[in-house]
Amino acid sequence: MADCEFLGGCIFFNDQMKSMPSTSEVFKLRYCKEDYSDCARYLVRMALGKGAVPEDMFPNHIEHARQMIYKG
């Protein structure tokens, strides 16, 4: 699977994770390079648009993403 199309501009990885490079790489492998359809940030962006993605949302906050999408 190709990398997530939003990886280069993802605020979470390019700003929020600068101080945790090891953790960032683990998250990137899991959510950006393997199956980004499981990424909470990706799901919210696709369903509600870029502006709806909370800056502090972690990729594994899938339940929060589902609640946001459900509420629309």
- Convert the pLDDT of each residue in 5-37 to its tens digit: 998 888 777 666 677 777 778 888 888 887 888
CA distances to 3, 8, 9 from 71, rounded to whole Å, are 28, 28, 26
62-71 helix and 40-48 helix, angle to the nearest 10 degrees:
10
Separation between Cα atoms, residue 29 and residue 36, nearest integer Å: 9
Residue 63: pLDDT over 80: yes
pTM of the complete model = 0.85
Q: Write down the mean pLDDT value for the chain.
A: 87
pLDDT of residue 1: 66
Predicted confidence at residue 15, as pLDDT, reads 66
Rounded CA-CA distance 46/20 in Å is 26
Q: What percent of the chain has pLDDT over 90?
A: 43
Give the contacts of 8 (CB within 8 A, at least 6 positions apart): 14
